[in-house]
Amino acid sequence: MKFEKETINIVKNKLVKTLCKKVEHKIKESKLQLAKLLQAASEAPGAMQSQHCGLKAEFSRLASNMQDKINQLQKDFEFLQSYKVEDLNKEIVLAGSLVEVNHDSEKKFYFVFPVCGGEIVELKDLNEKIIVVTLRSPLGDSLLNKKVGHSLKIRDKDLKIINIF
């Protein structure tokens, strides 16, 4: 894939917009799951009703964890909405860089980004899959501050940076 200087920011904006939609969808799904867990917790017998039944406590714990997940997703959503794509130094990988990598003789694209690690974004007009890696992930951390031509070994896989956008 070849990116022109004028189009790379358009691609990155599409990436961020797609991630925003994905996170918004996850928030909606998680809220539905939270409602079901809260309902199950309210209907489950408590310790006072049956000394061997901890369903109420378990559903409550799951609901609390789901609420934590929703809170994190909402923070990610707010970050995505406020994120401004900028022209970055193309000499080294930075947060917000799109990196083309030769991964065991196959080209892959990674978007090094603070949130949404593991998401795969398909941009139909480019016919490419772009994998989001966070700065804290082993791959994201290894890519950070590297230059074109740099080779890495991650989990017994050889990677070589081909392009930085």
Q: Which residue has the higher pLDDT, 115 or 90?
A: 115
Encoded tokens for 5: 């200087």
Q: Clarify whether residues 77 and 105 are in a common domain.
A: no
Answer with the one of 47, 82, 117 that is the final residue of a domain.
82
What is the spatial distance between Cα 54 and Cα 127, in angstroms, rounded to a whole number? 50
In a domain, 93, yes or no: no
Q: Tell me the pLDDT tens digit for each residue of 12-61.
A: 999 999 999 999 999 999 999 999 999 998 888 765 555 556 788 889 99
**Residue 98 CB coordination number (10 Å):** 21
Q: Clarify whether residues 14 and 77 are in a common domain.
A: yes
Q: Clarify whether residues 12 and 70 are in a common domain.
A: yes
Q: Tokens 């890696």 sit at which residue? A: 133
Which residues, in sequence order, are CB contacts of 92 under 8 Å at separation 6+?
145, 146, 147, 164
Q: Clarify whether residues 78 and 105 are in a common domain.
A: no
Domain count across the chain: 2
Domain of 42, in residue numbers: 5-82
Q: Clarify whether residues 136 and 70 are in a common domain.
A: no
Predicted model pTM: 0.86
Q: Clarify whether residues 57 and 109 are in a common domain.
A: no
